[in-house]
Amino acid sequence: MNLMCPARILLLPGDVQDAVVGERVAQVYAGPFEAAAGSNLAEHLGVKLTVVPELTQRPDAELQAIADLHRGETVVVLGLDLGLKLPAVVEHTGDGWTRVASDNEVTLAAYEQAPDKFRDTIPQDPNNALIDLLAARVAPPARLLELGSGTGRDALELERRGYLVRRTDATQAFVEMMRADGYAADRLNAITDEYGGPYDAVYASAVFLHFDRAELTAVLRKAARCAPVLAFATREGKGEEWSNRHLDLPRHFVLWQEEPLRELLNATGWTVDALTRTDSKIGSWFQVLATRS
């Protein structure tokens, strides 16, 4: 196999529900038991489905054959986890199949390495613009799920106003930081974990900007299943970028234009009640309040 240009294989669970794939896919492969789900996914993506009877009996050999056919391309394989938590992207390195870190996982690793530096360099004031939007719709003592609590800065202000906040973060270092400050906090990855609930609202300030479009689609759908109100802040702009700002470590950012953001919210079960803009040293932000459709 040409290791200079390997195939990227996106492993998805065999019972995949949402046809959410964030990159261009050349083909879908599935074992016999995943043929129906594979057919639905392939139709959604507009690509060919190939059913591989030996996929689960000879996973390494079959994956290698698939990779050899699709050098430089991305393909989906349903129902084969290789002992990994799905979804996962894998490549063959010559010594076996290696999980490729996603952009979001690289970003989380940066936060894990420098949580104190992040706390010392970000603005100290909470996002009062977003909290005010939430307060206009949901009154205390409503129960809130906060995704990406980080240092706990916004949770403090929300609690000061009388809300009951479940602090969560995907970064263990931030969870430990909040616990050390005397607050309960749960480790929760907004992309891969379930949210529990129900809650009166989901709150997420400066979190969704780390999710690619497919990841954000899944997150918005999960939020709609656990709460009738969503308040979030994300960056305005075009495209995506990597930045070492604040941490001297790489973090990935996804920027949004207003109309595509509204369209995605509508498609995932939300109606935008309010969308305002605020400015900062790094650019313009959307402050969004949405209610479940």
Same domain, 42 and 180: no
pLDDT at 122: 87
- For 204: left if phi > 0, alpha if psi spans -120 to 50, otherwise beta; the answer is beta
Q: What is the pTM of this model?
A: 0.82
Same domain, 38 and 154: no
Q: In 81-114, which positions are buried (b, 16+ CB within 10 angstroms) versus exposed (e)?
A: ebeeebbbbbebeeeebeeeebbbeebbebbeeb
pLDDT at 1: 37
Same domain, 124 and 88: no
Residue 171 lies in a domain: yes
Of 68, 84, 100, the position where a domain reaches its end is 100
How much is the average pLDDT of 261-276? 97
Of 100, 117, 151, the position where a domain reaches its end is 100
**Residue numbers of the domain that contains 176:** 104-292
Same domain, 115 and 14: no
Residue 1 lies in a domain: no
For the segment 166-209, what is each residue's pLDDT rounded down to a tens digit?
Answer: 999 999 999 999 999 999 999 999 998 999 999 999 999 999 99
Determine which of 84-93, 130-139, 229-238 has the lowest per-residue pLDDT on average: 84-93
Residue 3 lies in a domain: no
Of 48, 75, 100, the position where a domain reaches its end is 100
Determine which of 24-33, 64-73, 78-87 has the lowest per-residue pLDDT on average: 78-87
Same domain, 169 and 91: no
pLDDT at 8: 85
Q: What is the number of domains present in the chain?
A: 2
pLDDT at 247: 85
For the segment 96-154, what is each residue's pLDDT rounded down to a tens digit?
Answer: 788 888 889 999 999 999 999 999 988 889 999 999 999 999 999 999 999 999 999 99
Residue 133 lies in a domain: yes
Same domain, 274 and 154: yes
